[in-house]
Amino acid sequence: MMTNNPNANLIEAMKEKLPLKGQLADMLMDTLYIGKEAVYRRLRGEVPFTLQESALVSRKLGISLDKIIGLSFKSNAMFNINIVDYDDPFESYYNILEKYVTLVNTMPDDPNSTMGTSANIIPQTLYLKHELLAKFRLFKWMYQNKYIDCKSFEELEIPPKLVNIQKDYVGMTRHIHSIDYIWDNMIFQHLINDIQYFASIHLISDETKEEIKKELFLLADELEELAINGKTADGNRVRIYVSNINFEATYSYIDINNLQLSLIRIYSINSITTMDNEIFCTLKEWIQSLKKFSTLISESGEMQRIQFFKQQREIIDAL
């Protein structure tokens, strides 16, 4: 319960974000570069957090300082704009992915962790482990932004560490125990159209297009297997829905260890994110509401599942 004491409000908000014993103290020591005793004096209220310390903690945990000091601007929220830097796209993209991977991988196991995605393109958590598909998304973005300094898709060389972090990004979902995917029914068609365009202007060779096609068939097999089992290889539950309406954008949320993260995809490979609670609740409600327009194809809906993946393979085969 918020009071008229900003310092007490900050401590309460931090404990809500990191309720496990010792977790909050460790975070404060790492973030503020102060000793254990200094941390506990602040948590006991004996020494108030300075404005600079409050700002650092607020940014680290996504706590609204407006609410801490008793102000309320319901129409405002703090967003982090994760835009790949044009001057150094490889390093910038790597840093964005690495931030998410580190954040989730360093969290204690949470059996109640959840993730939801409503997607009009194949989600990154499903395709980034496939090198050509991952490379194509980056190639498309770089070509559109006039960064490309090579004459073709084949000439673009992706640094090994970026290839590895993309696979780690897919792997971080092993920490999420319940996942909802709601797919636009044109989810493969959008990607096929893009690949076909670049092939038509001779930026992707026929040989490479066939290799991409093989990865797409492999991805379709993986997704169908995931839908049949309703579980990942780690035993985490997955529900897959196919929507009967089209989506204008891709939205996602992650809820793990009281960290509530909302993501909205923009500019192909970029996203804006926030840890604002009101945005999280609104976005989660929006994603869940799409189920009323959708068909569950994981574990149940066998006929619809078979038909859906048959259609996707026909779309891929036309590439």
- Tell how far CA 167 is from the center of its chain: 13
CA distance 242 to 163: 29
Q: What is the pLDDT of residue 147?
A: 63
Q: What is the pLDDT of residue 239?
A: 94
Q: What is the pLDDT of residues 25-47, one digit of tens each?
A: 888 898 888 888 888 888 888 88
Given a contact cutoff of 8 angstroms between Cβ atoms, the answer to whether 125 and 173 are in contact is yes
Q: What is the pLDDT of residue 270?
A: 66
DSSP character string of the chain: ---S-HHHHHHHHHHHH--STTHHHHHHHHHH---HHHHHHHHTTSSPPPHHHHHHHHHHHT--HHHHTT---TT----EEE---SSSHHHHHHHHHHHHHHHHHTSPP-TT-EEEEEESS--HHHHTTSHHHHHHHHHHHHHHTT---SSSTTT----HHHHHHHHHHHHGGGG-SEEEEEE-TTHHHHHHHHHHHHHHTTSS-HHHHHHHHHHHHHHHHHHHHHHHHSB-TT--EEEEEEESS--SS-EEEEEETTEEEEEEEETTTEEEEE--HHHHHHHHHHHHHGGGGEEE-SSS-HHHHHHHHHHHHHHHHT-
| Regions of the chain where pLDDT drops below 70 | 1-4, 21, 64-87, 146-150, 266-270
Q: What is the pLDDT of residue 150?
A: 62
